[in-house]
């Protein structure tokens, strides 16, 4: 619902990065997706899934009723997906929320409107079996998105390393890092 338009429309019209013409061309014999890129993508998705799982366990442990937990998780999942879209708009540079990308603005507005409608309109709440959320629940969901953005930015800046430094041999038979 959110991912397909993001891939088909949002990323395609994103402005080119400033240094794109100064980069060397990709080796035509190289794989389209490197293992490093695949590891990064799986790490981002795994982190988001783990964060959502921890939130779900925390809400269950706190005794939050199921319909309220379902609402928090619904909103948190949307926040997580939108956070991953925002941090992956560019491969270089820092996270920047400013954009002139119309499809991205429409996607963000549409997702927020849909989430708001699902949480505010009784027929949609009944269909999804979720309760009204307290403002703190909404902040919790936004915090999930913020933590994902923060974690990805820390990795990009080199503060946290997801792959071994150059020269370190792999343990597996695939020695390419």
For residue range 2-37, what is the model confidence (pLDDT) as tens digits?
666 667 677 777 777 777 788 888 888 888 888 888
For residue range 36-47, what is the model confidence (pLDDT) as tens digits?
888 888 999 999
Who has greater pLDDT, 54 or 161? 54
Q: What is the pLDDT of residue 48?
A: 94
Q: What is the pLDDT of residue 50?
A: 95
Handedness of CA 142, 144, 147, 152 (dihedral sign): negative
Q: What's the rounded mean pLDDT across residues 69-87?
A: 91
Find the angle CA(96)-CA(10)-CA(81) to the nearest 5 degrees: 70
C-alpha to C-alpha distance for 121 and 135, rounded to whole angstroms: 16
Q: What is the pLDDT of residue 177?
A: 34
DSSP H/E element including 48? helix 35-61
The string over 96-112, giving b where at least 16 C-beta atoms fall within 10 Å of a residue's C-beta and e elsewhere, is eeeeebebbeebbeebe
Neighbours of 77 (CB within 10 A): 18
Q: What is the pLDDT of residue 53?
A: 96
Q: What is the pLDDT of residue 175?
A: 37
Q: What is the pTM of this model?
A: 0.75
pLDDT band at 64 (very low <50, low <70, confident <90, very high): very high
C-alpha to C-alpha distance for 140 and 149, rounded to whole angstroms: 14
Q: What is the pLDDT of residue 61?
A: 96
C-alpha to C-alpha distance for 122 and 132, rounded to whole angstroms: 9
For residue range 107-161, what is the model confidence (pLDDT) as tens digits?
888 989 999 898 889 999 999 999 888 888 989 999 999 999 899 888 887 765 5
Who has greater pLDDT, 28 or 163? 28
Across all residues in the chain, what is the average pLDDT?
Answer: 81
Query: Which of 39, 4, 29, 12 lies closest to 163 in space, CA to CA?
Result: 39
């Amino acid at each position: 619902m959110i991912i397909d338009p993001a891939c088909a429309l949002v990323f395609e019209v994103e402005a080119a990065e400033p240094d794109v013409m100064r980069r060397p061309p990709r080796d035509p014999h190289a794989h389209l997706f490197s293992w490093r890129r695949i590891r990064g993508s799986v790490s981002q998705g795994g982190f988001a899934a783990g964060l959502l799982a921890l939130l779900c366990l925390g809400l269950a442990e706190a005794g939050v009723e199921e319909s309220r937990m379902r609402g928090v998780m619904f909103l948190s999942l949307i926040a997580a997906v939108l956070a991953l879209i925002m941090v992956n708009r560019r491969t270089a540079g820092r996270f920047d929320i400013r954009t002139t990308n119309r499809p991205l603005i429409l996607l963000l507005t549409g997702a927020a409107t849909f989430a708001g409608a699902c949480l505010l309109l009784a027929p949609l709440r009944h269909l999804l079996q979720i309760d009204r959320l307290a403002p703190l629940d909404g902040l919790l969901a936004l915090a999930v998105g913020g933590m994902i953005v923060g974690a990805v930015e820390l990795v990009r800046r080199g503060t946290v390393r997801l792959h071994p430094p150059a020269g370190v041999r792999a343990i597996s038979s695939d020695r390419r890092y």
